[in-house]
Amino acid sequence: MTVRETHAEKSPSGQYGFVTDGYRPIPDQLRLMLGHLDGEEQYTYIIWRALNPGKGFVTPNDMTDSFMQAAGFSEGITVEVGIPGPDGERHLYTVGRPEPVDGTKTLIPISDTRAVRVSSNEVFTADEAAVIFYTYYLTDTVSQPYVLRELDLNQHLSEER
């Protein structure tokens, strides 16, 4: 195994560090972290490109405008991606499957008191989310066939549970 510190993470337990293959291959590491989401105590997982991997440690101040985050529980995860746009501002998108939305909305917990409401095509299992995260890890983008729904950052994006 080669430990490369190209991406940083905030684990579901709130610890900051690097995404590495020091213990297991990266796809397995991402799946493990997403599998820890339980919707009761461990709500979110975030990765982003490390700006200063030589620093040797990660803090909250190291997070960038380009990131991928997941929230929920292992069988009901929503995935969002923050990407700087051509205007230089960060845009936030919910990732979804390219299938017709059936009108069903799912409430995904993001904290003890807050949740987000997403469409049926925007709910993933930990296995499905791990594939999306691994593609982001490799390319810093969301690939086809997934679609992005831009979120209005001027609106409240969550509601009380």
Q: What residue segments make up the domains of the chain, in order of their start?
A: 7-153
Closest to 27 (Cα-Cα) out of 107, 140, 131: 131
- pLDDT score at 156: 85
Q: Cα separation of 58 and 16, whole Å?
A: 6
In terms of pLDDT, which residue wins out, 21 or 100? 21
Over residues 90-143, the pLDDT tens digits come to 899 999 999 877 888 999 999 999 999 999 999 999 999 999 999 999 999 998
Over residues 53-88, the pLDDT tens digits come to 677 788 888 888 889 999 999 999 999 999 887 788
Confidence (pTM)? 0.91
